[in-house]
Amino acid sequence: MEVLERTRPYEEFVAVVEAVVRRLQAEGIAALVRIQFYAHSNSTEVGALLTFSDRNQIMQHIQMITDWEEFRQFFQTVKPLDVRTYGKLSEEAEAWIRQFDVVSKTFEEHVAGFVR
């Protein structure tokens, strides 16, 4: 779960995030099973949920998207404020996320649950 600060007008953010989601849906890795963004036009806070079915593919996802123009545009419209991770990440993925100095909580041990 991520909390981001929107740094551009709401309409611009929406257009950019819709382009990101379209590209991920068409070309993203299969292990990214869910991505959702939540926002309100009167607030600069944005919520994002990403769910991966295989933690070992998170770095593949990161390496792929960092070359995309849509993601360069995305990171011009938001800045990360708070990240919480659920599940154990690879050392490389954890280091990549921690470079932003916004990880507030990590829940490494999965106890129970399912995805349909």
Domain locations in the chain as residue ranges? 2-107
Q: What are the C-alpha distances in Å from 96 to residues 7, 61, 89, 92, 103?
A: 22, 12, 10, 6, 11
Q: What is the mean pLDDT of the chain?
A: 95
The upper half-sphere exposure of residue 34, i.e. CA atoms within 13 Å in the direction of its Cβ, equals: 10
Q: Hey, what CATH topology would domain 2-107 get?
A: Alpha-Beta Plaits (3.30.70)
pLDDT value at position 103? Answer: 93
How, if at all, do strands 103-107 and 78-86 pair?
parallel
What is the model's pLDDT at position 116? 78
Residue 114's pLDDT band (cuts 50, 70, 90): confident
The 10s digit of each residue's pLDDT in 35-63 is: 999 999 999 999 999 999 998 999 999 99
Quote the CA–CA distance of 43 and 68 in Å, as a whole number: 27
Query: Residue 82: how many CB atoms within 10 A of its CB?
Result: 15
- In sequence order, the 6+-apart residues with CB closer than 8 A to the CB of 100 are 80, 83
Q: Is the pLDDT of residue 71 over 80?
A: yes
Does the pLDDT of residue 2 top 90, yes or no? yes
Per-residue H/E/C for 32-45: EEEEEEEECCCCCE
Neighbours of 81 (CB within 10 A): 15
